[in-house]
Amino acid sequence: MGLLSLLRKLKRTEGEARILVLGLDNAGKTTVLKKLSDDDISTITPTQGFNIKSLNHDGFKLNVWDIGGQKAIRPYWRNYFEQTDAMVYVIDSADRKRIEETGLELADLLEEDKLSGVPVIVLANKQDLVTALSPDEVADGLNLYSIRDRPWQIQACSAKTGEGLQDGMEWLVKQVRPTKK
Amino acid sequence: MKLKKFLLRYYPPGVILLYEQQGQQYQRTLDLLDLRPGTDVEALVAQIMQSEPLLTENRRKHLRGLILKLVEKQKEQEQNRREFVLLRVLRAHVLPLTNCAFNKSGSMFITGSYDRTCKVWSTATGEELHTLEGHKNVVYAIAFNNPFGDKIVTGSFDKTCKLWDANTGALHYTLRGHQTEIVCVSFSPQSDLIATGSMENTAKLWDVEYGTERGTLYGHSAEIVSLHFNAQGNLMVTGSFDHDSRIWDTRTGTCVHRLQGHTGEVSSTQFNYGGDLCVSGSIDRTTRVWDVRMGKCLSVKQGHTDEVLDVCFDSAGTNFVSASADGTARVYSTRTGACLDTYVGHTGEVSKVSFNPQGTSVITASSDKTCRVWDVSSASSQGGGGGGGGEGGRCSQVLEGHTDEIFSCAFNYEGDHIITGSKDNTCRIWKASS
């Protein structure tokens, strides 16, 4: 990839959208990304920095930035806000203890100037686990119904099985794709 | 005019004459860029004595001694191709590194990072000397004011550039004015100017002493991702995503030439030491060599099968090298334009390339998580039949260990240390075994 391609991904290009994937550590952000690009998901380690993938969705190019979510590096999320077209916020639905923490992080993000009006899709991930909260419970826990300043959506999914991911992507693309004439 | 002192410069080879005229100190440089281990020293001395009025007959012996020293240094390099061993792994940053650079003596180096800091390191001990904190976003471009090495400039995605004291880590100035991310920076060789290039299509010149803006270079219609001063510091070359490179007069800030020809974004540009040529690499898969005075393209190199991501000359300007997304690098003779070497071996894109100061080795950094060191075939050995054709190119070493792709690499001035900066948040120091 190299530094030059980072610069090329930084600029806004017609016919492409920049998607930011955020969420707490171990939410499954990298797994979501890898599953979407049909990569092997058996050996994923905590992301120390970021991963970038270009996804093609029905002729439309998505530059997806998956950003590490460990507490120590969350203050650096801002590095990546510039030129964001849509945000994917990934939740470990089985991690009941940290629903409040992830809700607070999301609330902070929604108040960021540079992300104002940016559509957000919340992925209630890990639905394959029996202890997972339902999407409704997640939406409640995160107080999503109070969001009025942007399009938003909650989507149940399992990055492991891939279930729900395509539906989520379709909603996302609808938000960022320029309307056809 | 009275000659006071000789100074020796190893890379590129040269002798600097310090002299006095009406009570003022001046210096003049005799560039010996074509010096080779086989150079006829007597003939060279005679030629210099004849053309340089500062050199009176009684200086002949001294001059001969200096040139012999330079030749010896060159022979040393030819004979000593040493293995690099890992000296240290520095858990340098909490996020990926961007660029890295040595000061001239190689005693210190700096690393920039997504964690918004630039760190200053001791090469010998691996000790962190200073953390330069204050930027509010990625520190992308960094540089020492070599050969002086007492200042550091950092360019950030926060749209500012900062000037620091290299020895104390204190902030001198914050340079504000760009509207978007700063992605390339450079000091003029005289260290009186800083140039910055940004994603908003402009470059700016700043006064080092006062921290003020000297001017904005308008002309490019897309991001400026590369800039370089010539050795005299009177010209600058910029490379842009608008497919052009431009040459600028740094005194007036005016565009001297628009170098048109590439059909894709320009990724990298550089002057040769003499300043009569510059080279540009492009996403269009070609490398172009330009005549600086005329602003004309002299040659187009088409060997790569994918984007050219980096180009540079060796310190004397004898050869230049291009690195490509096709996983190879290619060395060309500046004089003949012939491809001397093709370096095949990486299993991923090669995004950074540079020569050691001696011009005998090339280092390449790749997305395959390794750096490779390569032997440069000398043009003379190419001439002797047999070799040539540019097919060969021996990999003398693979530097393995990084766990993610490598974004940057650099040789120190002596050519006996290498630093590599990676997306894995670490920096590695490699030292030539003695």
Which of B114, B310, B408 lies closest to A79 in CB terms?
A: B114
CA angle B430, B433, B434 (to 5 degrees): 140
Residue A181, pLDDT > 70, answer no
Which of B114, B199, B408 lies closest to A10 in CB terms?
A: B199
Task: Please confirm, yes or no, whether A70 is among the known catalytic residues.
Answer: yes
Contacts of B404 in chain A (CB under 8 A): 49
Please count the other Cβ atoms lying within 10 Å of the Cβ belonging to residue A181.
Answer: 3
Residue A1 is predicted with a pLDDT of 76
Residue B30, pLDDT > 50, answer yes
How does pLDDT run across B105-142, given as a tens digit for each residue?
A: 999 999 999 999 999 999 999 999 999 999 999 999 99
Residue B383 is predicted with a pLDDT of 42
Phi, psi of B356 (to 5 degrees): -75, 160
Residue B374 is predicted with a pLDDT of 96
How does pLDDT run across A96-126, given as a tens digit for each residue?
A: 999 999 999 999 999 999 999 999 999 999 9
Q: What is the band of B80 on the pLDDT scale with cuts at 50, 70, 90?
A: low
Please count the other Cβ atoms lying within 10 Å of the Cβ belonging to residue B131.
Answer: 13
Given the DSSP bridges, would you call strands A120-125 and A86-92 parallel, antiparallel or unpaired? parallel
Distance between CA B288 and CA B334 in Å, rounded?
11
Over pLDDT 70: what percentage of chain B? Answer: 96
Q: What is the band of A143 on the pLDDT scale with cuts at 50, 70, 90?
A: very high
Q: What is the band of A180 on the pLDDT scale with cuts at 50, 70, 90?
A: low
How does pLDDT run across B168-223, given as a tens digit for each residue?
A: 999 999 999 999 999 999 999 999 999 999 999 999 999 999 999 999 999 999 99
Contacts of A49 in chain B (CB under 8 A): 95-96, 114, 404, 423, 425
Residue B144, pLDDT > 90, answer yes
Residue B382, pLDDT > 70, answer no
Q: What is the band of B389 on the pLDDT scale with cuts at 50, 70, 90?
A: low
Contacts of B157 in chain A (CB under 8 A): 79, 82
- Extract the runs of DSSP E, i.e. beta strands, from B39-159: 84-90, 97-102, 108-113, 118-122, 128-132, 139-144, 151-156
Contacts of B114 in chain A (CB under 8 A): 49-50, 76, 79
Residue A76, pLDDT > 50, answer yes
Shortest CA distance to B95 belongs to which of B426, B418, B370? B426
Give mean pLDDT, residues A26-40.
Answer: 95
How does pLDDT run across B263-283, given as a tens digit for each residue?
A: 999 999 999 999 999 999 999
Residue B81, pLDDT > 50, answer yes
pTM confidence score: 0.92
Residue B197 is predicted with a pLDDT of 98
Is A10 close to B181, i.e. CB distance below 8 A? Answer: yes
Is B116 close to A79, i.e. CB distance below 8 A? Answer: yes
Give mean pLDDT, residues A29-46.
Answer: 94
Compare B110 and A177 and report the one with higher pLDDT. Answer: B110
The ipTM value here is 0.89
Phi, psi of B189 (to 5 degrees): -60, -25
Residue A75, pLDDT > 50, answer yes
Q: Is A51 annotated as a binding residue?
A: no
Is A2 close to B407, i.e. CB distance below 8 A? Answer: yes
Q: What is the band of B384 on the pLDDT scale with cuts at 50, 70, 90?
A: very low
Give mean pLDDT, residues B38-63.
Answer: 93
Distance between CA B260 and CA B224 in Å, rounded?
15
Helix (H), strand (E) at residue B380: helix B379-383
Residue B379 is predicted with a pLDDT of 54
Which two structure tokens, joined as six digits, stand for A104? 């607070």
Residue B390 is predicted with a pLDDT of 64
Is A3 close to B407, i.e. CB distance below 8 A? Answer: yes
Is A79 close to B367, i.e. CB distance below 8 A? Answer: no
| Alpha helix ranges (H) inside B197-325 | none
Residue A14 is predicted with a pLDDT of 77
